[in-house]
Structure 1
Amino acid sequence: MQMNENVHSLLFFAIMLSDGILMTCTVRRVLPVGRGPIRRFAPLALFTIVPTMPSWLGDENPLLMLPFFMLVFFLCYGGPWFARGTVGIVFYELLISLNMFFDTTSRWYEFLWFERLPSMLLKLVLWLVIFLCVRRLLPGGQPVTLSPRLWVLIGVLSLSSLFSMLSFSIWGILDFTTNSFDFVLGRVANTFLPFVFLSSLALLFAIALLSRHEALEIEHKLADMREVYYQSLKREQQQVRTLRHDMRNHLTALSGLLARNDAQKAREYVQSLSQSPALVGVKRFCENETVNAVLASKAGAIEHEGLTADIGVSLPENLPVSDPDLCALFGNALDNAIEAAKTAHDKRITVRARTDKGLLMLRVANAYAGEREQLNKGLFGTTKADKASHGFGLAGMREIAVRHGGTLEANADKNRFELVVCIPLDDAE
């Protein structure tokens, strides 16, 4: 008998821990995890302990657990506060509605461990199914990103289920129940709480689906931006080639002005030509024409901003990466570096790129002033005022790297920013 109880106890604690791990992993698919061991351990402890706490319909326990539940979400997860609040409410409803359903409908049992094992096992199966569905909907492993309006909308919708579920506890209805009414209360739990659970589950899936939809829209926007960037670079290079081709005619016109002793017009003509990039020798950084054109253009911008460029690039003429992707990858990396280094004490920008062992590797390092807000892993918020129209640089580069089977890592520490991109050339589109 003692051995039986020990086995039941071990099984009970194993199910508790499994519940906690599954729920923690599910939330991590939606929200970024905060840094530090405490922020990582607290959600696991919360999701391990709360499912075992008795929660009857009308009991005060759900009300007492709500502040601690939301506190963990606000302190231990990243992202905007309204995103943390919304996700916290959705997962609170999922967890507590299950607890209240099983505990209310089985109040006639004494709550011993071995008598709660069937409901614990069923909860574990449900959380496993939810985790697998969320992982399928969000396969990238990156937390979801929705607009503030969508987060607020989902948050408002979640309040309906929240207050409906807690209304019995708010009014302390168990203090006034009789045996006959207790029977009715159990029937209410059988019909009411499953709808609360399904509504919260629908909101969770809506978050995942809306996130995928916004990700597709961002991908289309980034593709358009890459094409515009690439076409702009092509037009600039075409203007340079055209001006060089017409240089003989310009020199002939200048000679005619000098022959007529029209020094003023000759001076104005020379000044207009001197502002053209065609008269500036384009430095060769590498054999790849697209990357070379981007580096030549950005080197001029770096010099114009009073910065110093340390560029060491060795890339072949042909790469199995499209020209618009190469243009966006190198262009956005250098644009971000220039923008950050302008206000920094250290004005040096370091660029390294090469192909080695089947990999295209790009590293850009620069200093920055102030603080950088890290949104998700490897992504940082824009420092510009119009955040709705900016902040796509790193996201666009990551999309390019991931689409080609590669990786992007960005680190900001001690006012030094470093971007590293690795793309396998064999798998590149």
Structure 2
Amino acid sequence: MFLIDVVLINFLGLFGTYFLYQLIEQFIPPKDNRLLQLLLFFIIFCSITLPIYPNDLLSVFVMFLLFLLSLLLLLKGPVIHKISLVLSLYPFIVSLNFLLEDIGLKIWQANGEGVVLDYLLHGAAHFLRGLVWFAMYQFFRYAIPYSKTQITTKLWLIIDFICLTPLIAMISFIAFTPSITWRVYPASLACILTSFCSLYMTGHVAKSFRYKLENQNLQLQKDYYQELEGNQKQLRKIHHDMNNHFSVMLNLIREEQPEKAESYLASLTEQHILANHIFCKNSIVNAVLNAKYQLMQDYQIKCSLQLDIDTLITIDDIDLCSLFGNTLDNAIEAARQTTNKEITMKARYYNGFFSYEIINTKKHQLKNRGSRFFSTKAQPQKHGIGLQAVRSIVESYDGTLDISYDDEQFSLVVLISDI
């Protein structure tokens, strides 16, 4: 009977475990192995059901190491994302467990220390944890996914330092809990609030960057459709004037003036070149590529753009536009300063793989520090930001980024799989 009661009480802990697992999965997907996913679920279950007692530093420290290692080893994505997730969630877990366990202990002691009451209190504690993690999942699940691609490494480090405060504070409170434990409750609640605000700030910053990119892309779409409308008017005008143009050229030919006819035709063609191109069926991506293509024409850069991504479903449109936009901006910046101005870009989605390659001519020597490259831009603070954004996007989809260069060319290759 005792064993059955324990199993039933712990079964309630699966409620909170499920929603915390879902929250983590929204932030960073687990590795594609069912056994590893079950192992991660079990470690999460142990973490949120572990009772935290006053002066119980060993349990807190051991569980922290286990929680950290499990997320580092069992999740995909960059290490900085995993560490940030641990630092955001673990103080919340510890503080919540300590409060529920200590309050439950005081209620149990005040009411006769009965066995039935003990079961009820532990069951209630698991149920409350479940409600808390359900609320956390519902609150953050729409904002957290954007943080993978929209937040830079430097900003992640700032968030991590902020999250260290509740972590160190809570470990200190557990290690040196006073005899009157309720005096620690305000500090525990403050740690919960700080962790919650850290997650909220992460999601808010990511969504702000996301909205900025969406607004930029919407503006590009607006410009693109305005140009399409202008082209339609131009076509109607050409159609209306076509008979007159044909008459002029026919008379020039009849009068045996082929040079004038050729010159007239060339002038007519130059006047009515349509600015828009259909690079792919995705209107947002097409708008971005049209803007960059026009920029290359303005700088007289010889360009070749080959795309076959009409069935692409792996990558979010905003991330895809950021990938194209940042890499093309860097390529244009470098190529326009060379004598042999040239850019070649290829993008393809085939058999579950997205491949992207862009090659441009360059003039200046590149400098790099670690994974960061320094461009020829005048403002030092803007060096390498585009490539950092691209690297962040690629890592968030668990893809690969390869950069190579010599004295005359710069090459960037991206490979992302949805298998």
Q: Is 375-384 or 65-74 further displaced after alignment? A: 375-384
- For 2:326, the aligned partner's letter is D
Instruction: Mark the CA change 1:6 to 1:72 in structure 2 (over 3 Å): closer, same or farther.
Output: closer
User: How far 1:194 sits from its partner (Å)?
Assistant: 1.9
8 Å CA contact retained: 2:217, 2:284: no
- Match of 1:60, SS state, is helix
Instruction: Mark the CA change 1:205 to 1:113 in structure 2 (over 3 Å): closer, same or farther.
Output: farther
8 Å CA contact retained: 2:26, 2:141: yes
Counterparts of 1:238-387 in structure 2, within 5 Å, are 238-255=233-250, 257=252, 263-273=258-268, 297-298=277-278, 328=283, 331=286, 364-365=310-311, 384=324, 386=326
Aligned to 1:183: 179
Aligned to 1:26: 23
Aligned to 1:65: 63
Aligned to 1:88: 86
Query: Is 2:135 the counterpart of 1:132?
Result: yes
Aligned to 1:235: 230
Instruction: Mark the CA change 1:211 to 1:25 in structure 2 (over 3 Å): closer, same or farther.
Output: same
8 Å CA contact retained: 1:138, 1:208: no
Measure, in 1, the Cα distance between the counterparts of 2:329 and 2:28. Answer: 23
Query: Is 2:151 the counterpart of 1:147?
Result: yes
User: How far 1:92 sits from its partner (Å)?
Assistant: 0.9
User: How far 1:144 sits from its partner (Å)?
Assistant: 5.0
Measure, in 1, the Cα distance between the counterparts of 2:221 and 2:240. Answer: 28
- For 1:128, the aligned partner's letter is L
Counterparts of 1:179-218 in structure 2, within 5 Å, are 182-184=178-180, 186-218=181-213
User: How far 1:44 sits from its partner (Å)?
Assistant: 1.3
- Match of 1:196, SS state, is helix
Query: Is 2:125 the counterpart of 1:122?
Result: yes
Instruction: Mark the CA change 1:227 to 1:77 in structure 2 (over 3 Å): closer, same or farther.
Output: farther
Measure, in 2, the Cα distance between the counterparts of 1:39 and 1:219. Answer: 36
- For 1:183, the aligned partner's letter is S
8 Å CA contact retained: 2:217, 2:288: no
Aligned to 1:47: 44
The count of aligned residue pairs is 318
User: How far 1:250 sits from its partner (Å)?
Assistant: 2.8
Measure, in 2, the Cα distance between the counterparts of 1:388 and 1:62. Answer: 49
Instruction: Mark the CA change 1:201 to 1:238 in structure 2 (over 3 Å): closer, same or farther.
Output: same
TM-score (norm 2): 0.58
Measure, in 2, the Cα distance between the counterparts of 1:262 and 1:38. Answer: 82
Aligned to 1:163: 168
8 Å CA contact retained: 1:29, 1:135: no
Instruction: Mark the CA change 1:157 to 1:416 in structure 2 (over 3 Å): closer, same or farther.
Output: closer
Instruction: Mark the CA change 1:204 to 1:32 in structure 2 (over 3 Å): closer, same or farther.
Output: same
User: How far 1:94 sits from its partner (Å)?
Assistant: 1.0
User: How far 1:123 sits from its partner (Å)?
Assistant: 4.7
8 Å CA contact retained: 1:56, 1:104: yes
User: How far 1:11 sits from its partner (Å)?
Assistant: 2.1
- Match of 1:55, SS state, is coil
Instruction: Mark the CA change 1:40 to 1:380 in structure 2 (over 3 Å): closer, same or farther.
Output: farther
8 Å CA contact retained: 1:93, 1:196: yes
User: How far 1:95 sits from its partner (Å)?
Assistant: 0.7
- Match of 1:183, SS state, is coil
User: How far 1:382 sits from its partner (Å)?
Assistant: 6.3
Aligned to 1:421: none
8 Å CA contact retained: 1:143, 1:376: no
User: Alignment identity in percent?
Assistant: 17
Measure, in 1, the Cα distance between the counterparts of 2:161 and 2:144. Answer: 26
Measure, in 1, the Cα distance between the counterparts of 2:285 and 2:208. Answer: 27
User: How far 1:62 sits from its partner (Å)?
Assistant: 2.0
- Match of 2:326, SS state, is coil
Instruction: Mark the CA change 1:327 to 1:348 in structure 2 (over 3 Å): closer, same or farther.
Output: closer
User: How far 1:251 sits from its partner (Å)?
Assistant: 3.3
- For 1:386, the aligned partner's letter is N
Q: Name structure 2 gaps, 5 residues minimum.
A: 291-302, 331-347, 356-419
Q: Deviations over 1:312-353 (max 9, x none)?
A: xxxxxxxxxxxxxx9827957999xxxxxx999xx9959xxx
User: How far 1:17 sits from its partner (Å)?
Assistant: 2.0
- For 1:328, the aligned partner's letter is S
Measure, in 1, the Cα distance between the counterparts of 2:117 and 2:203. Answer: 36
Q: Deviations over 1:12-58 (max 9, x none)?
A: 22122223112112333444444332453233112111233343454
- For 2:200, the aligned partner's letter is F
